[in-house]
Amino acid sequence: MVDLLLGLQWGDEGKGKIVDVLTKNYDIIARFQGGPNAGHTLEFDGIKHVLHTIPSGIFHENAVNVVGNGVVIDPVIFKKELENLSKFNIDFKKKLLISRKAHLILPTHRLLDAASEASKGKAKIGSTLKGIGPTYMDKTGRNGIRVGDTELTDWKDRYRALANKHEAMIDFYNVDIQYDLKELETEFFKAVETLKELTFIDSEEYLYQAQKTGKSILAEGAQGSLLDIDFGTYPYVTSSNTTAAGACTGLGVAPNTIKEVIGIFKAYATRVGSGPFPTELFDEYGKTMGRVGNEFGATTGRPRRCGWLDLVALKYAVQVNGVTQLMMMKGDVLSGFDTLNVCTAYNYKGKTITHLPYNIEEENVTPIYTEMAGWKEDLTKMTTTSQFPKALNDYIQFLEKELEVPIKIVSVGPDRTQTIHR
């Protein structure tokens, strides 16, 4: 049995926290796409932890964590993540299993990302510059280097051939990128040796056998549905399938083994990087959300753009993923607003529509809002729904009616303990 946990907006919905809260219910936590562009934040015992490639179940004693074939791994960042966790005495060899089919991010992939973005000027994607796009390009172009390849004797020759090609491509972009490849390669090869100390597995086989023996699996998504390479706001997207189907291709689990599809969303909306964001706020409301919600990228530290909740986009994500239950994050950030707006339709080229159109560029779309009452109460100390102010209950019930899916968890703060079940 597999449950999926996915972000329904533009990422940063709080997936790390929820996986951490839910881990006790599962035997295996598995990442299926993305790479170190992700930043999953977990907070407990007064300490904040940010994970990039390692699944968010790593802090729990009994969970096995799998990095699936759909993930792209930068050994250098991975090594740093392991080092950051060294004080926890985690038995990584036993608790962290890596798919041989996962692709490696090479130093030149990162450089290519930087060169590509620099060449785009104003039209840049706003990439995290972790080499994600170029690595997936090599994967689909059938040139990539996989984790399992590092066990072969000739893998460094293949590395060289690919890196040489990348250098020629970097020259092609004709932009000013300074780098010392020798230095980057020394760091990379050292980090690959660290990676090789972990356990490599054929993850689809491992997960199949695990299911046969009754083990439960939580597939942990990264980024959000609106950053999906197919269904997101292309080209301002990431390079993997962040939606539910990505878990099947990124882990090798069959569609009919998936049970719950848990969709995580924030009570408002944020986006980091470029691209359309119809409900974006440029006023004090947006600034307040950013300040109170501490909306800065966990990977890059960039300030996130903030805006009202967009139900047109959220419904689309619920639909594409087949979400069976919802979790609303950061409800506490909205405390203090007199009124709240929720976008329930778009004015698209002069017509009212309630679906996400092909092109949601700013000049085509104006959000149509439903105004709701705000609440003043501080939610962060609340422990049960019976303490919720009426306006918050109305907000939640309105969303449930519109989205036709129950909201099972309301999160009222970053800590594990600030999680209210409904």
CB nearer ligand IMP, residue 112 or residue 318:
112
Q: Which stretches of the chain bind ligand IMP, using CB under 6 A?
A: 10-12, 37-39, 125-128, 130, 132-133, 222-223, 227, 236, 238, 272-273
Which residues are within 8 A (CB) of 265 and not within 5 positions of it... i.e. 6 or more apart? 7, 8, 9, 13, 309, 314, 317, 326, 327, 328, 329
Cβ proximity of 194 and 175 under 8 Å: no
CB nearer ligand IMP, residue 37 or residue 411:
37
Catalytic-role residue among 20, 40, 310, 332: 40
CB nearer ligand IMP, residue 276 or residue 389:
276
Does an H or E element contain 354, and which? none
Catalytic-role residue among 3, 12, 74, 310: 12
CB nearer ligand IMP, residue 12 or residue 332:
12
Nearest distance from residue 20's CB to ligand IMP, in Å? 16
Residue with nearest beta carbon to ligand IMP = 273
| Active-site residue, 228 included | no
Nearest distance from residue 232's CB to ligand IMP, in Å? 8
Cβ proximity of 210 and 252 under 8 Å: no
| Active-site residue, 49 included | no
Q: Is 380 exposed, middle or buried (0-12, 13-18, 19+ CB in 10 A)?
A: middle
- Among 122, 331, 316, 299, CA closest to 225: 316
Cβ proximity of 296 and 304 under 8 Å: yes
CB nearer ligand IMP, residue 70 or residue 375:
70
Nearest distance from residue 328's CB to ligand IMP, in Å? 18
Nearest distance from residue 376's CB to ligand IMP, in Å? 30
CB nearer ligand IMP, residue 99 or residue 238:
238
CB nearer ligand IMP, residue 53 or residue 150:
53
β-strand 217-220 against 258-266: which pairing, if any? unpaired
Q: Is 367 exposed, middle or buried (0-12, 13-18, 19+ CB in 10 A)?
A: buried
Nearest distance from residue 243's CB to ligand IMP, in Å? 14
Nearest distance from residue 130's CB to ligand IMP, in Å? 5
- Among 67, 63, 53, 69, CA closest to 21: 63
Geometric angle at alpha carbon 116, from 112 and 122, rounded to 5° = 155
Phi, psi of 72 (to 5 degrees): -110, 130
Cβ proximity of 308 and 368 under 8 Å: no
Q: In this structure, what token pair is assigned to residue 228?
A: 């999906």
Nearest distance from residue 416's CB to ligand IMP, in Å? 21
- Among 360, 329, 332, CA closest to 346: 360
- Calculate the alpha carbon distances from 308 to 8, 293, 337, 411, 417 in Å: 14, 13, 12, 18, 26
The b/e string for 388-409 (b: 16+ C-beta within 10 A; e otherwise) is bbebbeebbebbeebbebebeb
Give the catalytic positions in this structure.
12, 40
